[in-house]
Structure 1
């Protein structure tokens, strides 16, 4: 697929700012961003017009008076900005503004990028070739397994994997790509963990990978924060891969953001009778690129990004990723039988999947999964293909 002219322009490397901001100017930037009515576009316009945040802050009162505002514009107090930056420092995070080095160049070229990000970890990952993988929180075992295959192959091809640290597909993508590079975009403050069970994963990404958010420390994510997070995911990546998404899934917001930003949208087709595939199959009907392996994605992105084909050849991949255990040990050994059955059913779909994959996805021991499958088999709710493959029976 040949790159469109606008895509060639979009992915052409842009010169990054080279001037480091002083501590005083960084504080002024944050105060400007946190002042009334100063959005991403206004922030850049003020900086460009006055030559810096300090001078822009000084000009704000006069600007608001001339505009006929009914009351003086609220300017963020210095003490408030200092407390916010100190909270970020305590969490190990750094404020990164659009007007300074290391801000993600790809995101900076988006329309109205976040004027500031809090980042923690390996900042160099933010300007590396990258692909986002997102999908259902309530994913199937087959979807999680496929995600790990995609993420491992992207890592071998030299791509950083970006995702949103949600349950399901996002988690599988991050866990697999941690050894080679992953970026986790979160909806709330960088010092908070959501969902709570990702405390260890988020901590590892904050040291081995890179955490990103535009929200201040201490802010608990609300519904409105997740679409903003999804736009950053799309903005950081050269392409977005959707693995599983229901018809009204929030994952589709990321696909729309990617499309709006001129990124390539890829969708992995699913079984027509699996509701978790309704969104992905719908994206394909709407023009998303159908993919079944990571090589399909790399083949499309390589010419758009102007990458050296030899560098991203699978035959010359990097060191192999460490082998994953066939099944994770059960974190809930005393789960009630009915709850085990529900967890196994949630991991199953029309596509055949291994018992080990079900155990890994559900967090239940292989023995407990086998017991639940025996009950489902006797009730006629599953189909077995050989000894180890099982699928939900479609009636």
Structure 2
């Protein structure tokens, strides 16, 4: 693309922030009028057909936004920029403007999205770390949503190799609060993306929009653990709609948190058991996915689990797969003594099985 003038860049931001202008109408207006400046001048004339709400966003508000982006150490990335994520650009609903911190060139490398439950089992967290770390070593960039649980584990394991975090808030907002350090690491060592204007708090309606970006960045989406109604399954559905691979790790039918993955596999997602399975599938990806998963049902009501602040209890971290007590302490964030007391209570209640090597599991 030709280098945008400051006036046209400002006009593009203002156009997108105008009432009733979304990604699709933004592109239509640019095509019709040739520039954002011309489109803004035409908006009042469109009011008769589009309603009184068709009016440009106030210049002062956009000037304040630009300053906020600069204060956050971020920059704007426009849809026709050379370093706009190439796979994301293929989506008709791709964000026309992103705010970014970090190395935008990461998005041009082979990418896999890893998503899953927030209130996940410790065994699933271990799997997420293993898959993300090994795939990063193979040269894949790991994209996820910086949420608790699976997302956070995937980002942490992939920091050295390259990771992209997509947040549902403004670029200057940290959520969840305990991921402040991780979000800063992703921004400084990898790439942090936001669609919402700076200062925007994470609201329920923003998470599905974030999920479409995660799915759009990658050739394939891997779901590690997910309940039947969860944001991770929305990401899988959006990946399928975009013509990308959908992969899932199977789990025990006795664990509700595995039901979402098992359901995906039953409906055509590719079952994967190791990072090599993912690498083989995506290395051969030519735009025609091997997975036959196509979710024709309406999307489920989004459960806003991302906005819950209470930590998961010890019992919720257990599955029938044995896991080290040290892993439970690390995942729960609780003192070791508190974890041991909780495990003792579960054992006395007949809900815990102890295994060799200091590992424990939920009683089947």
Matches within 5 A, 1:300-311: 300-305=281-286
Distance in 2 (alpha carbons) for counterparts of 1:292 and 1:90: 44
Give the corresponding residue for 1:30. 13
Give the corresponding residue for 1:298. 279
Q: Which moved more, 1:50-59 or 1:217-226?
A: 50-59
Matches within 5 A, 1:202-281: 202-281=183-262
SS in 2 for 1:100: coil
Distance in 2 (alpha carbons) for counterparts of 1:132 and 1:276: 19
Q: What is the deviation of 1:195? A: 1.0
Give the corresponding residue for 1:44. 27
Deviations 1:98-140 (A, max 9, x none): 1222111111111221111111111111222111111000011
Matches within 5 A, 1:153-232: 153-232=134-213
Q: What is the deviation of 1:20? A: 2.0
Give the corresponding residue for 1:384. 354
Q: What is the deviation of 1:371? A: 4.3
Q: Is the 8 A contact 2:19 2:53 kept in 1?
A: no
Matches within 5 A, 1:23-102: 23-65=6-48, 67=49, 69-71=50-52, 73-102=54-83
SS in 2 for 1:103: coil
Residues 1:361 and 2:331 aligned together: yes
TM, length-normalised to structure 2:
0.89
| Structure 1 residues without counterparts, runs of 5 or longer | 1-17, 307-338
Q: What is the deviation of 1:73? A: 2.5
Distance in 2 (alpha carbons) for counterparts of 1:84 and 1:381: 53
Structure 2 CA distance for partners of 1:261 and 1:70, relative to 1, 3 Å: closer
Q: What is the deviation of 1:61? A: 2.5
| Structure 2 residues without counterparts, runs of 5 or longer | 288-309
SS in 2 for 1:211: strand
Q: Which moved more, 1:268-277 or 1:51-60?
A: 51-60
Distance in 1 (alpha carbons) for counterparts of 2:21 and 2:201: 22
Residues 1:348 and 2:348 aligned together: no
Distance in 1 (alpha carbons) for counterparts of 2:67 and 2:155: 28
Distance in 1 (alpha carbons) for counterparts of 2:315 and 2:268: 32
Alpha-carbon RMSD across the aligned residues, in angstroms, is 1.9
Distance in 1 (alpha carbons) for counterparts of 2:250 and 2:51: 54
Q: Is the 8 A contact 1:21 1:100 kept in 2?
A: no
Distance in 1 (alpha carbons) for counterparts of 2:130 and 2:260: 21
Larger Rg: 1
SS in 1 for 2:184: helix
Distance in 2 (alpha carbons) for counterparts of 1:20 and 1:291: 44
Distance in 2 (alpha carbons) for counterparts of 1:387 and 1:208: 36
Q: Tell me the number of residue pairs that the alignment of Structure 1 and Structure 2 aligns.
A: 342
Residues 1:136 and 2:106 aligned together: no
